[in-house]
Amino acid sequence: MRPVLPVITMAVLALSHAAPALATQPLHQTVEQAYPQLDYFFQELVKERDGITIDGRAPFQSHDKFLPGKIATGLADVLLHTPADDPRLPGMLRDYASIADLTVGMENDTWGIYYYIGALYKLKQAGLLERAVRPATLDQLRKKLDWRTFVRVPAYELIDLPTNYYGVAFSIARLRLLMGWEDAQASDVLLDRMLKHYADYSGTYGFSDETDGQGRFDRYSILLAAEICERFIETGLTVTPELKALLRKSADVALNAANADGSGFTMGRSLGPYGETAMLEILSTAAYLGVLTPEEKEYAYAYSARIGERYMTFWYDPALHSVDMWGKGRRTDTYRGKHRILGENFSLLHQLISTDEMWNRAGMKNAVPRADLAAWLERARPAFSLTRFAGGEYDRALAIWRDGPHVFSLSMINGGPSQHANSPYYPLPFSYGIVSGIADSGAAHPQLLPKFRLADGSELIATAFLKNIRTSDIDGGHRVTYRQDALTKLGKNVPVKDTRIAVETEYTLRHGVITRTDTYTPAAPLDVAGVSLDFASFSSGATVDGNTIAFRDGAVRTFAVDGLASCSAADVTGSEAYRAPYGPMATLATCRTGAFTFDKPLRIRWTIRYQ
């Protein structure tokens, strides 16, 4: 058995949001720690094969449809990192071939196909393919690793998949061309489809809608331009000026949302470490393509080094030999459930390795990160910015506000099917340790949005029909306003418009204080069974004084509500229902009003004071 190299460990970052106490080491040195982790899984797979278990989970019994491809990529990273004269290499190549034989007949879809063929192409470039994959297995892979498994031909339509899968299909077709498995026709058509679809559903703003124009955006909408540029670089195409312009917009959002502690995007689903590696992908690609200024490049690299450090010290658990997105009070959506634990290790470590390679190619290998990142972000990035994602019938935008060590992302991005009722997509000011969504939360306890229960049994919240988003400076801060001519009627996979109630919303953002004011107006007198407002907070030690809840510990000091009858607070420590992607909530604050006839405007206001 090959020896596992020692992994440098550091104290796990607490939820205090404090900047790292130690100087950040070069990103490349941090990412070198990925290889012992990959080597551990390599050895376990050789020994246990499809019987492998990780923290009680059996990955090969989990129906992870990307797993074979992620295994191929993760283990290829180990091979490619091993010197050609290393006496272990011949045995490692035989082991890789054995694992390829094991997985070749397993389910492997879309992203898994992309990962697998990308690994084969890199092995081919390194002159290792013939030794790493046996001829009969390679012949099977040539037939199976095909974009046609999820694209209809000759129409070139995706088969029941989100729009970003055009990029996956193009990448596979382009890699098949480079492998000598097909000609350029399909990759040319899919490239055209990908870019056309991006243009159709990003409009003049440059960020890709996850739906067919229904207005759902998240971190992936910002990442996609970088991903497309990466596919061009990976397959030897010249990145166009138009793509560089889109990447510049993504880089601006990433730098505006950057935090010196290495945390990343805080809104939308599938976060955890992916909210941070998305930042790595955007900024490393922008640096390599010369999209950043020299100063921005220096500090984007410093931020990237912090992200790498945070992965190793916060997300990686040496006791498990694994990334941990599911323990310590953390929570993921079903898509990234713990059944995918092996594949998540491979894909995250591959992202760290590939983005480190991009930084190396950008001239930053082993560069010492700038130590004044926090000061630069405060000085060089805007205190407040609004990035528009879509306009027309409804507005979609992201307001980013920087208040000392806290960065708030007020995401007004919610439309389309499947996610509208889940709190990561609510129009809220998300900020690490202050306000968080809860993956797959549903709307049983909608985070910081009043829920109307009508006498007829309907439940309504204000999520998806935003219009006329406006911003302005106010004394000592900023204001964001919008209106909705209808609330969302809950219970369906898509947001259903209910015009019985309209709402005008105002956020005011001042140092240490966020206030949201909703003015609800009924179209006609309406019987309401009750209104409730919940706030799942990381702060603890709650005391209630009227409609003000004070906290003894945590970043949030008080939560106050006007317009509802009474408030209470409950300790939810240990509750499965109240977990953020990065850790547990501690207190559920709830305010309520009982039955009434709704026949005049109702103003509901909440204020969060934080330190």
DSSP letters spanning 228-268: HHHHHHHTTPPPPHHHHHHHHHHHHHHHHH--TTS----SS
- Indicate the pLDDT class of residue 16, thresholds 50, 70 and 90: very low
Which pLDDT score is estimated for 163?
77
Whole-number percent of the chain with pLDDT over 90: 90
More confident residue, 389 or 198: 389
- Indicate the pLDDT class of residue 22, thresholds 50, 70 and 90: low
Which pLDDT score is estimated for 7?
31
Mean pLDDT confidence for 402-407: 96
Mean pLDDT confidence for 545-572: 98
CA distances from 83 to 39, 62, 88, 89, 90 (A): 14, 34, 9, 8, 11
What is the rounded average pLDDT for all residues in the chain?
94
14 has pLDDT over 80: no
Separation of alpha carbons 472 and 459, rounded Å: 32
Three-state DSSP at 583 gives strand
Transcribe 452-497 into DSSP letters: EEETTS-EEE--S-EEEEEEEEETTEEEEEEEESSEEESSSSS-EE
At 527, list the tokens: 């019987």
**Longest Cα pair distance anywhere in the chain, in angstroms?**
81
Q: What CATH number labels 382-610?
A: 2.70.98
Helices (H) and strands (E) in the chain, counts: 15, 26
At 487, list the tokens: 């609330």
13 has pLDDT over 70: no
Q: What CATH number labels 27-378?
A: 1.50.10
- Indicate the pLDDT class of residue 209, thresholds 50, 70 and 90: confident
Span 304-345, pLDDT tens digits: 999 999 999 999 999 999 999 999 999 999 999 999 999 999
Domain boundaries in the chain? 27-378, 382-610
Mean pLDDT confidence for 552-575: 98
Span 145-174, pLDDT tens digits: 999 999 999 999 999 998 779 989 999 999
- Indicate the pLDDT class of residue 210, thresholds 50, 70 and 90: confident
Span 425-451, pLDDT tens digits: 999 999 999 999 999 999 999 999 999
- Indicate the pLDDT class of residue 411, thresholds 50, 70 and 90: very high
Mean pLDDT confidence for 524-535: 98
Which pLDDT score is estimated for 194?
87
Separation of alpha carbons 2 and 147, rounded Å: 36
- Indicate the pLDDT class of residue 43, thresholds 50, 70 and 90: very high
Span 478-525, pLDDT tens digits: 999 999 999 999 999 999 999 999 999 999 999 999 999 999 999 999
Residue type, 24: T
129 has pLDDT over 60: yes
Mean pLDDT confidence for 36-59: 97
Which pLDDT score is estimated for 21?
47
54 has pLDDT over 60: yes
Mean pLDDT confidence for 124-153: 98
Same fold: 27-378 with 382-610: no
Residues 6+ apart with CB under 8 A from 185: none
125 has pLDDT over 60: yes
Angle between helices 111-125 and 67-81 (to 10 degrees): 20
Separation of alpha carbons 123 and 92, rounded Å: 13
123 has pLDDT over 60: yes
Cβ neighbours, 10 Å, residue 63: 11
Three-state DSSP at 375 gives helix
